[in-house]
Structure 1
Amino acid sequence: MHIGLPKEIKALESRVGLTPAGVKALVDAGHAVHVEHNAGDGSGFSDADYQAAGGIITDAATAWASDMVVKVKEPQPEEYPYFRDDLNLFTYLHLAADEQLMRAMMASGMTGIAYETVQLPDRSLPLLAPMSEVAGRMSVQVGVHFLEKPHGGPGVLLGGVPGVLPGKVVILGGGMVGTQAMRIAVGLGADVTVIDVSSARLRYLDDVYGGRVKTLMSTAYAVAEATRDADLVIGAVLIPGARAPKLLTREMVAQMKKGSVIVDVAVDQGGCVETADRVTTHDTPTYLVDGVTHYAVANMPGAVPRTSTFALTNATLPYILKVANLGVVKAAEDPTIRGGLNIVNGQVTFPGVAQAFNLPYVDPARALHPTVVA
């Protein structure tokens, strides 16, 4: 199979879909990998590194002309002209929050496999996990930055010092992002509260942290009360492949302390904070609503591209190899990979995406057609 590795063009996105080691694994398996010139520069990988791994350095058009394109972020509008009916795209898509992209993919007849909906039998998300780990840890780091006075904050040190109370962190969601955020916030010595819909999850977190984290069942009342005096609120809600629910409403934000910070990690799935209604970028990452700083960057791990690219390739490579070796139709006999199919032959094949736009859902096994095979 011919596999394309284009350079990411999303604003300030420096990750790349595969490390040179990942390219070598594909080449050793008998595949040709077309790497766009300078695709890995932002992550510290040169064209020479990819050539040494067996990659073929080329231009964007040639990389996109491959049987399967491997990326990090969803295609940008400038890349839509590369879409075609025999293209297989493997990347983060987040279609439930991007109708324009979804419509363009449907119109082209291409096949779109989304990292974020590849799901194991235990319902874990192996290809979303590494970036969730990065974003969860970064969320506290970002919050600390914007709570500092020189960066517009009230001048709060999350960990406090002897004789001074620590800052308060509220985490909405106790999944992968929330757990990683807890890990960093607790390590800093903050006063941490996590809110989740699962009593079993809250019980687990209480056991793991030995009472160092406060746990609350998710209700509108609990969210409003907990966030009212929070210094940092982290949105870490996930419904795989679907839009995030709006847990923190505009009215709740208005009641928060002036100078407090919201980091909505769920913004790439539409956001779980009602006032996080615009996606920001790393060069202008925040805006104010009712005196509360909102950080709504949809590609947070792009700020640490080298770490993120290594972590992403570690997770995605076995699945990329399987699709490359077997072709999409055969590989999709594995229910884990089949769950990643979001668009096939102009049809929506993931329930959360169909529901987001009131479109018919088609089972991916039924939507697949021999012409999709690479």
Structure 2
Amino acid sequence: MNEEFLAAMDAIEKEKGVKKEVLFEAIEAALVSAYKRNFNAAANVRVQLNRESGEIKVYTRLEVVEEESNDPQLEISLQDAQKIDSRYEPGEIVEKEVTPKNFGRIAAQTAKQVVIQRIREAEREIVFDEYIDREEDIITGIVQRMEQKNVIMDLGKTEAVLLPTEQMPGDDYRQSERVKAYITEVKKTSKGPQIFVSRTHPGLLKRLFELEVPEIFDGTVEIKSVAREAGYRSKLAVYSKNKDVDPVGACVGPKGARVQAIVTELRGEKIDIVKWDEDPVIFVANSLSPAKVMSVSLHQEQKVASVVVPDYQLSLAIGKEGQNARLAAKLTGWKIDITSESQAAERQGLPVEERSELFGNDEDVIDPENTVPGVPDELVEAVYRPEKGDEDDETP
């Protein structure tokens, strides 16, 4: 060890952020193992690396015992110890230098290996610290390769794994393609940090809107909830504290430019943006957009909302295979039972001419009091399940 070695330690500390003292201690520990492996496996030794000169010395550590030593490599008699220094007492440790003549070559090789290992560990730690703070955030990676249906993305300093379960239906990943994904988990492993990302997580949709819509980024518009069936359709509930700002219009953007950029990133996934309202009646009605709702009746104990829609809007409200109703339920947190105007009237035994008096016309404003009286609770047990014939209905 020489001055060049110490200068290298200074450079590593500045460039890699690894403290010199940490390296010195690691080298000393590694040199103890190297000495035992090459010279004396049974000895109890200590290695001292001089921080100023780089000089290395090896000391054997012997415990002072009153009687004659049974193991000369680990013990020394009190009589022999006091020949070195009369102040030694039983139980104390005597150190004697035992540095081998050719230990410098082994020390240099060991130090090199330790430094390389510590630098690698430090770099991994830096990467882990960087990405652990970015959990639940969006990143852009470059598709590097496929491994057993897993997509490996290059993030620059490290790689991310996109599992098959987190890939959107119909996604076709090509090498060198740039892809946005949502960080779901960052793990610390023996091989370094492992980053898992998702393209199906609702958080991806939320982060994409934060990137595209300045009003969301600065807090003017708030995303209240997100419901997503990745690759097919999503619903987003937004709210603005500023009455002069239309939250839905801000998210859609001029000529739909903002939402269209997100649809393109999500490979054509349909996105419904609805206005959030603290009144669950209005919020449930909004959540079924683009369908028009005539009335909403809440059953608080069962957390069920009974919704009546015009006959011609029933298929639209339900959506293909119940998708629109299912997403609305996820968005609002309410189970939603959808009934057509005719079905609701028939349940109450009303003649056709009296139905409009009960439900109003298509221009009626939704009113919390404009509910469907007389509908028994057993008819609103769960989220709407499509009746025969609804399965093939398409949502425009």
Q: Could you say which TM-score interval applies, normalised by the shorter chain?
A: under 0.3
Larger Rg: 2
If the length of structure 1 is used for normalisation, what is the TM-score? 0.23
More strand by share: 2
